[in-house]
Amino acid sequence: MVNIPDKPINSHKPVRIALLGPSNSGKSSFVQRAVHNTFLETYYPTRNIVPAVFEFRPTNPTSRQILDFNASLSHMEDMNADSSLRVGYATSVTLHHNELIRLSDRNYPKNSTHNEIYTTLSNEGSQKENRTSFKAQDSALSPVPSLVSYNPPFTTPILTELVDSPPYNRRQTVPFLEASLDAKLPSEFLHRLALEPRKNIQVQPLLVASGASEMNGSIDGYLFFYSCVPSLNPPEYSESPETKDGKATEEETTFEKLTESDDPISILKSIKLAVVDAWKDYNRYKKNWLDGEECDVYSLSNTIKSLWKSGSSKVPTNPPRIEKTESGSTTTSSVDEKVRHELQNYRDLPPVTIVCTHADSPLKSPVLIEKGKKLAREWNCGFVLMSNLSGSNAQECLALTIREIAERNKSRSPSNNKRNKLVQKLMQMN
């Protein structure tokens, strides 16, 4: 048996994962399954943000294999025969790297398994099996096991916090707030407003810079939930958005198309677009906060920084190119292209995993499942097809997200730049 430590190594900083999605998508049921390993058949809609902290202990072989930094691409393909799982981009880079080591005798850079979230353990049984399954050239490089007698290792417990949120409603959602609405200001700031009873707040921010809110800048990853059971609600015959002149603009039409549709894929696109805007505003807020930080104006270091900034500000920058039509109006790319560019190319966003629930329902739609997989390929993120009722792929969902977060943290270190460039060239060739 494996002696698994009782304490996680990330006890000082839990992995914080936010759950977003429309109503009846299985967010709260997933929290119940992950924390208590139970399922409640009665549906209670979530009204407020509810955090849940627990120790995630991966026990089944699939989740342990996902968290194994020495597993290769072939191991993942054998595990994912039903195509119900898809790893994120950062994890796929490591899988391709390990596949190179397994199939080649070239001296590729070693794969670092160090991270601040969990530690991979080795037991006597798995070590004995792995010693006979290594290739001769693998022993001098990174210990990537072959496909024969592969036994996924155990890991230390992972302190995890799942932040459950109310159903997404674009009319009540604000992407970013500098201060939480839940912050209780003293009477010296509120004046007469402090004498009035506090009203219920209907606005739900996706990201808050400061204040009493769980949706803050320490979120490490996101789970986007949607159900593969088609909605039974009839279509709404509302009037199309109109401007003052009576004509709908292109931006308003596309925004309504993304937010008002009952299609869960359109709702996921709207959620990610709002999350991207939230993190852009948050990073801009942090930069402005650091730029306005108090300092000693008479110090030598501050003088050098001021001279450097004043010199760099004189460098002319190329203005954005704006084309004009014959009538004199400016032309831009379509809003759909802007949305696609924002969703695919924003790199400061924490890892996102698309979770498709109700996989064991007799009313599930294969079309909605394939749309979710296609969206995951477009976003280059993870995908999980799971069931909260039976608990299938529940541990795998957490393992995929935590592994992607750990890979993102590792990829920021300079030691992995050589490996990442090598593997990215190979992935582009394929």
Fold entry, domain 15-163+340-429:
Rossmann fold (3.40.50)
pLDDT of residue 80: 75
pLDDT of residue 353: 96
pLDDT of residue 33: 94
pLDDT of residue 408: 87
pLDDT of residue 331: 43
Q: Is 373 exposed, middle or buried (0-12, 13-18, 19+ CB in 10 A)?
A: middle
pLDDT of residue 294: 56
**Cα atoms found within 13 Å of the Cα of residue 82, Cβ hemisphere only:** 9
Q: What is the DSSP string of 171-225?
A: GGEEEEEEE-TT----HHHHGGGGGSPPPPP--EEEEEEESS-SSBTT--EEEEE
pLDDT of residue 182: 59
Sign, CA torsion 187/189/192/195: negative
pLDDT of residue 288: 82
Task: Reduce the DSSP state of residue 150 to 3 states and report it.
Answer: coil
pLDDT of residue 167: 92
Q: What is the reported pTM?
A: 0.76
Q: How far is CA 133 from CA 337, 398, 430, in A?
A: 49, 29, 28
Measured distance CA(387)–CA(227) in Å, rounded:
10
Residues of the chain falling short of pLDDT 50: 124-142, 234-244, 246, 248-260, 313-335, 429-430
pLDDT of residue 319: 45
pLDDT of residue 151: 84
